[in-house]
Amino acid sequence: MFQAMFSSISSIKAHQVRMGVVGNNIANINTTGFKSGRVTFQEMLSQTLRGASRPTEGGLGGTNPMQVGLGTQVGSIDTILEQGSLQATNRVTDLAIQGNGFFVVSNGKRVAFTRDGNFDIDANGTLVHKATGEKLVGWMPDANGNIDITKPLGASSVIVIPVGKTIAGQASTSASFKGNLALDGTSWTTSVMLYDAVGAPVDLRLRFSRATSEPPSTPWTLSYSVDGGRTWVPTADVVEFDQYGRITSGASQTITFTPPDSGAPDMTVSVDLSRITQLATSSTVEPIAQNGYPPGTLEQLTVSPDGTINGVFSNGLNLPVARVAMAVFNNPGGLERAGNNLFRESVNSGVANIGTAQTGGRGSISSGYLEMSNADIGNEFTNLIVTQRGFQANTRIVSTVDEMLQDVLQMKR
């Protein structure tokens, strides 16, 4: 009888642990990035009343062992790492991982890992977890704007957003055009906005001229102006076409001039006209591109699925300002919970393999979303009922054994 009582007591203790895990799952049903837990039981030792016997030749058959179990115990408490659903927040610094991996965060002394992407920019421009102040770890660009993702990361490798950063302009050195010059000849003017060494705009105008009385084989005269058309400077070359309207001469021009207003040094610009034709239709020559830009100030951020944080500047440039790091483990279920939605390495999780999103089995990053808890309330309430019934059943065994002992004690009266 005492065996039954002790077995029930062990089960009661195990069900108390399971109730604690179920309660924690339900408590965190709305916790961002929470990963639910699961309890498994295993039987304890068994008392062998009689061992097994083998069959004898021509005699009796074998007998099975006689054993009485001594109860149950908690076998494991597992972390369920299934993907939680994503909730849209429309905040660019809210990040969610789709797939495997963890964000890497630091308090300055150690790194930890989390699926909670509720980040924001603090007073120093550092990207931090809003609730705890843990800093997001990643790579920053060098002086040339290049991000080296092979550089080892540590607790001090945190992401700092250059809020209000101003980048210098770049002087234009090339410009290209496309379109058509009318076969019957005329005068056509087009323009492109360039930028000098201090980022000031320069309006470069090109004028193509050919008398209508001249045959199509006559070269076009090309002149340019940078002072709003007040002064036109002929180029050294002229533009010619063959009988099929394809350009044969003057496809590449080099123009040198002094910016008219800013006092910047002289500019030399290569002009590409190779995409211009001479066909029996109206003139349509227009600029395609130029490679200069004015100074700009960081205005907003975007985050790519590979974890690249891009800065959108007022001059239209979109430049990377940081790269988010992600970690994967050989056994993520072996990570230890450290509170505040954080995990830390254990001896059975394996060492963190840190890299970039969308590589090495790591998932992608969704900006403007948060990953919700993966605890399912319907499943948890089912576990709650099952755990409660298991607990009640074992308390009844204890009560029954107690009644049996009372009957034994009354036998001598």
- The predicted-structure confidence for 153-177, as pLDDT tens digits, reads as follows 988 999 999 988 888 889 999 999 9
Residue written as token pair 């030399």: 268
**Residue 112 DSSP code:** E
Quick check: 63 pLDDT over 90? no
pLDDT, mean of residues 284-303: 95
Distance CA 39, CA 22 (A): 9
Residue 412 clears pLDDT 70, i.e. is over it: no
Mean pLDDT over residues 138-151, rounded? Answer: 91
* Residues 51-80, mean pLDDT to the nearest whole number: 87
pLDDT tens across 176-215, in order? Answer: 999 999 999 899 999 999 999 999 999 999 999 998 888 8
Give 113-137 as a DSSP string: EES--BEEE-TTSBEEETTT-PEEB
**Where does the pLDDT of residue 8 fall: very low under 50, low under 70, confident under 90, or very high at 90 and above?**
confident
What's the pLDDT band for 46 if we cut at 50, 70, 90? confident
Q: Which fold has domain 174-290?
A: Tick-borne Encephalitis virus Glycoprotein; domain 1 (2.60.98)
Confidence of residue 1 (pLDDT cuts 50, 70, 90): low
| pLDDT value of residue 410 | 81
pLDDT of 4 > 80? The answer is no
Instruction: State residue 181's pLDDT score.
Output: 96
Q: Is the per-residue pLDDT at 47 higher than 90?
A: no
Residue 154, amino acid? G
Closest CA to 161 of 16, 29, 319: 319
Predicted confidence at residue 2, as pLDDT, reads 63
For 272-281, the pLDDT digits (tens) are 999 999 999 9
The answer to whether residues 344 and 113 touch, using CB atoms and an 8 Å cutoff, is: yes
304-316 pLDDT, tens per residue?
A: 999 999 999 999 8
User: Looking up tokens 């039954």, which residue turns up?
Assistant: 4
Determine the 3-state secondary structure of 395 from DSSP. helix
pLDDT of residue 130 exceeding 70, the answer is yes
- Decide if pLDDT at 145 tops 90: no
**Pairing relation of β-strands 102-106 and 326-328?**
antiparallel
Q: Domain ranges for the chain, please list them.
A: 2-49+66-81+374-410, 86-166+297-371, 174-290
- Answer yes or no: are the C-beta atoms of 22 and 380 closer than 8 Å: yes
The pLDDT value recorded for residue 272 is 97
Q: How confident is the model at residue 395 (pLDDT cuts 50, 70, 90)?
A: confident
Q: Note the pLDDT of residue 399.
A: 81
Mean pLDDT of 98-125: 95
User: Is residue 91 over pLDDT 90?
Assistant: yes
Which has the minimum average pLDDT: 219-228, 335-344, 388-397, 404-413? 404-413
Write down the pLDDT at residue 67. Answer: 82
Out of 56-65, 185-194, 304-313, 319-328, pick the least confident.
56-65
Mean pLDDT score, 80-101: 95
Residue 413, pLDDT > 70, answer no
Taking residues 4-32, report their average pLDDT. Answer: 89
What rounded mean pLDDT belongs to the chain?
A: 92
Given a cut of 90, whether residue 22 has pLDDT beyond it is: yes
